[in-house]
Chain A
Amino acid sequence: MVRAERKVSRQSLAEAVGVHYQTIGYIERGQYNPSLDLALKIAGFFGLPVEALFSLRPFRPLTDEVYGRSQG
């Protein structure tokens, strides 16, 4: 998770993008799909393209990405 990797708290991310800190948790757990506006704000906060953070398919585990293992 990018937020954990950057050591950003839910609270500070939520304040930066103008939402409640619980909403960040809902998005991270896949229980809420953010609007395009909010997704772009979150991507902007991390300085990443929106597709690096949000995808219709589950992201591959980081170890698979690093060591190039294919999905089972």
Chain B
Amino acid sequence: MTQEMTGYDRRMLALMNRSEGASMYATATRRRVAVCAHIALTAASVTTWLLTVVADQRWAMWTMLGLLLPWCLATGVINASTRGLFELRERALDERQRAERFRVAARARQIMLWLLLAAAAGAGIAAQQGWSTHGLLFPALFTAFVVHWLMPLWVAGLAVQDEPADLDFDSEAVHAADK
């Protein structure tokens, strides 16, 4: 935390370090469930949004709006588990968190590289076979944008480690600081 933080940074830092929902991401299994749920909700949201925009399906819009709240909740759980690794500005993170963010971003970039390669290969095969992919350009690009945007969050959520129990006086101090 080297640079001067703004009021917004301090509010976000406090928000990302609240401990009310800690039980929702206390174990690796719960974090995996949260990330899987977030991926499923994102896939459903993207599908319904594309159906709304491209196919003009009215029911899809209402479904998408219904998915918004659980999606926001799942996002909040992942952000809380990472203590805002990708939500906070760099100046609100310390040196270990900045190193962690860099490592997670590099891993996410590597995964995206393989996904885009697979998509490009799929498009190439489809063209070779003479299949029409004309209508898939916008949905594919939009999906790639969303996955590129959220991949660091998913990787960060899966990379979080369990917080070990510490000495009694320590946990008391932490809870007191949170209040």
Contacts and interface: CB of A to CB of B under 8 A. Distances in A.
Interface of A: 4, 7, 9-12, 18-23, 25-27, 29, 31-32, 34-35, 38
Interface of B: 1, 17, 83, 93-97, 99, 161, 163-164, 166-167, 169-170, 172-174, 177
Nearest to A14: B94
A34 B166 CA distance: 20
B173 A22 contact: no
Nearest 9 CB-CB pairs, A to B?
A9-B173, A19-B94, A23-B96, A11-B173, A9-B170, A11-B177, A32-B96, A11-B174, A18-B1
Given A9-B174, A20-B83, A21-B174, 10 more contacts: A9-B172, A10-B170, A11-B170, A11-B174, A22-B96, A23-B97, A25-B163, A25-B164, A31-B161, A35-B95
A29 B95 CA distance: 16
B96 A10 contact: no
10 contacts: A9-B172, A10-B173, A11-B174, A18-B94, A23-B95, A23-B96, A23-B97, A26-B96, A29-B164, A32-B99
A11 to B, nearest CB: 5
Nearest to B1: A18
B169 A19 contact: no
A19 B174 contact: no
Contacts of A25: 163-164, 166
A31 B99 CA distance: 12
Contacts of A38: 95
B17 to A, nearest CB: 8
A27 B94 CA distance: 13
Contact of A19 (B96, B164, B167): B96
